[in-house]
Amino acid sequence: MLVLASLAEKDAEYDTIKKQHYGRYLASYCKPYTTLVMKDHDIVIQKEKLIAAFYRELVGYYNTKNGFSTHFDAMPLEVQQALLNMSFNLGFTRLKSQYIDMNAHIKKEKWADAALQSNRIGIQTQRNLYVKNLFLKAQASAKKP
Partner 1 sequence: MNFKHFTTSSILALCALCLLACQHKPTLNEQVKQMRWINPDVFNASKHTRGSLYSFEFDMTFSAVNGENVTVTNCLELALFGEDRVSPPEYIYWQSIKIDCEVVERYYLSSENAVSYWPESFDYELIKQFPATTLPYVGGQTLEGRTGTLSAYDANLKFIEKKNDNQIHVDVDDMDVYYVQLARADFNRDGVQDIFVRMDWYVKDAFGKGTDWVVLTKLSPNSAPMMLWRK
Quick one: which H or E segment has residue 139?
Answer: helix 125-143
String of contacts with partner 1 for each residue 17-56, x by CB under 8 A: -----xxxxxx--------------------------x--
Residues 6+ apart with CB under 8 A from 62: 68, 71, 72, 75, 83, 106
Of the pair 5, 90, the CB lying nearest partner 1 is at: 90
Residues 6+ apart with CB under 8 A from 69: 107, 108, 109
Near partner 1 by CB under 8 A: residue from 5, 90, 112, 116: 90
Residue 20: closest CA among 33, 11, 7: 33
Question: What's the closest the beta carbon of residue 90 comes to partner 1, in angstroms?
Answer: 5
Near partner 1 by CB under 8 A: residue from 34, 35, 64, 93: 93
Distance CA 31, CA 44 (A): 21
String of contacts with partner 1 for each residue 94-123, x by CB under 8 A: x---xxxxx--------------x-xxxxx
- Binding to partner 1, residues 69-88 (CB under 8 A): 87-88
Distance CA 1, CA 95 (A): 44
* Binding residues with partner 1: total (CB under 8 A): 30
Near partner 1 by CB under 8 A: residue from 4, 15, 39, 124: 124
What SS3 class is residue 22?
Answer: coil
Q: What is the dihedral of CA 96, 110, 72, 67, to 10 degrees?
A: 60
Near partner 1 by CB under 8 A: residue from 92, 105, 111, 138: 92
Chain residues that interact with partner 1, rule: CB under 8 A: 22-27, 54, 87-94, 98-102, 117, 119-127
